[in-house]
Amino acid sequence: MRVNDIMIGLETKHPGESEYLQAVREVLISIEDVYNQHPEFEKAGIVERIVEPDRIFTFRVPWVDDKGRVQVNIGYRVQFNGAIGPYKGGIRFHPSVSLSSLKFLGFEQTFKNALTTLPMGGAKGGSDFAPKGRSQAEIMRFCQAFVTELWRNLGPDTDVPAGDIGVGGREVGYMFGMYKKLAREHTGTFTGKGISFGGSRLRPEATGFGALYFVQKMCDEYHIRLRGKTVAVSGFGNVAWGAVTKATELGAKVVAISGPDGYIYDEDGVNMPEKIAFMLELRNSGNDVVAPYADEFPRAKFFPGKKPWECKVDIALPCAIQNELNLEDAKTLKKNGVLLVAEVSNMGCTSDAVDFFIENEMLFAPGKAVNAGGVACSGLEMTQNAMHISWSNEEVDRWLHQIMNDIHEQCVTYGKNGEYINYVKGANIAGFMKVADAMMAQGVL
């Protein structure tokens, strides 16, 4: 396999799908050496097959807004790879959603899910629908319209969606309700459901909690004390909230959170329950702005239009969206003496930022390892649904912790190079080897 030749082929076939091409290139560069030590992979065309989704559904989502006007969005589901289990991955509602972004997310999900140790294939879906400013009734009608088209392709052992940006418990509830009505079955076909109808304990917290369990392991590995360290987080959604909560619980001090409008610097730390609860209030307001935090807590400062990476902190946790941290930001973080950067968003850093971290042997871990706690907890929800039982907080947390430790171990096994752990390489190789092995065993499909 020669990465450049494969990339030229893909660029010709899928012109302009920049995020998808970025994600594929990053993985292929990581696995190139290992792949070329396995001539049987080359013979079976593993790489040519693994970079293309199994199938993609694209559909029209018509709905009626509160003014009685007809609105039309595009819906997608990318079933990327089903080698190791039923398709699994979130649904994103955001104006930036395109085929390229969902293909990148489905591709990443395939390797992430393999890392969780649970049997789940990779998928992603969503729509260019913008929830910002929409009423509850509009959100419900949109979710129902989305599932009316998609439901035939879903099922508890076929494809199990969940939340992602713009899709939380409320949206999953509406989508699950419509699915249940059409399919006439009450099965675990969505995860992230409400506790009263089959949802798992801890699912809302799982991505952020899991990320901090992973960060804790990174710190242990490098003999860094997490307690007392300052942290900058981007975003203020579900994932950021879980990360802030757990970071605070572990004794770190989160001094920055952000939104599309700018960032908040809170010298005292986003540390009190009322501050963390206020993050939820901000999110639930549906306005997508973080500025009101500084009105509520006047000792905090708001920096409009700026990113939190300019703050001097020990730990940086991008928790918002892809490519939110670029080379310039990476250089600023290094200059300010950052000790650790962990992507909590999927592909949160641009390729040149990732290269910069690794070339400088900085402590950096990629989203597919760090944020895998979310989908891992979804896998635990599927298990509970299949067994018709529900586990306690403690039971789910124990599993989550164990899985994150396991993922860290896999990264070390495949990524250790002398003293330095290349977590990007480790995660990519570990995830790839599992999927490739399953594909080899199942023949040319």
| 375 sits near ligand 2IT (criterion: CB under 6 A) | yes
| 211 sits near ligand 2IT (criterion: CB under 6 A) | no
C-beta of 332 vs 378, nearer to ligand 2IT:
378
| 345 sits near ligand 2IT (criterion: CB under 6 A) | no
Q: Which amino acid type is present at position 8?
A: I
| 191 sits near ligand 2IT (criterion: CB under 6 A) | yes
C-beta of 88 vs 94, nearer to ligand 2IT:
88
| 374 sits near ligand 2IT (criterion: CB under 6 A) | yes
C-beta of 153 vs 271, nearer to ligand 2IT:
153
C-beta of 239 vs 290, nearer to ligand 2IT:
239
Main-chain phi, psi angles of 33, to 5 degrees: -65, -50
Query: Which residue is nearest to ligand 2IT, using beta carbons?
Result: 90
Q: What is the number of alpha carbons within 13 Å of residue 371 lying toward its C-beta?
A: 29
Rounded least distance, CB 103 to ligand 2IT, Å = 14
C-beta of 202 vs 252, nearer to ligand 2IT:
202
* Sole window of 248-256, 372-380, 387-395, 428-436 interacting with ligand 2IT (rule: CB under 6 A): 372-380
Rounded least distance, CB 344 to ligand 2IT, Å = 10
Rounded least distance, CB 237 to ligand 2IT, Å = 11
Contact in structure between 118 and 85 (CB atoms under 8 Å): yes
| 422 sits near ligand 2IT (criterion: CB under 6 A) | no
Contact in structure between 353 and 330 (CB atoms under 8 Å): yes
C-beta of 187 vs 332, nearer to ligand 2IT:
187
Rounded least distance, CB 105 to ligand 2IT, Å = 7
Please give the Cα distance from 413 to 430 (Å, whole number).
8
Residues 94-153 that bind ligand 2IT (CB under 6 A): 109
The residue from 162, 252, 300, 311 that contacts ligand 2IT (CB under 6 A) is 162
Q: Which entry of 88, 103, 112, 124 is annotated as an active-site residue?
A: 124
| 346 sits near ligand 2IT (criterion: CB under 6 A) | yes
Q: Which residues of 384-407 are buried (b: 16+ CB within 10 A; e: fewer)?
A: bbeeeeebeeeebbebbbebbeeb
Look up 124 and say whether it is catalytic.
Answer: yes
Residues 70-89 that bind ligand 2IT (CB under 6 A): 88-89
State the residue for tokens 């998609």.
150
Catalytic residue set: 124
Binding site for ligand 2IT (CB under 6 A): 88-90, 109, 162, 164, 191, 346, 371, 374-375, 378
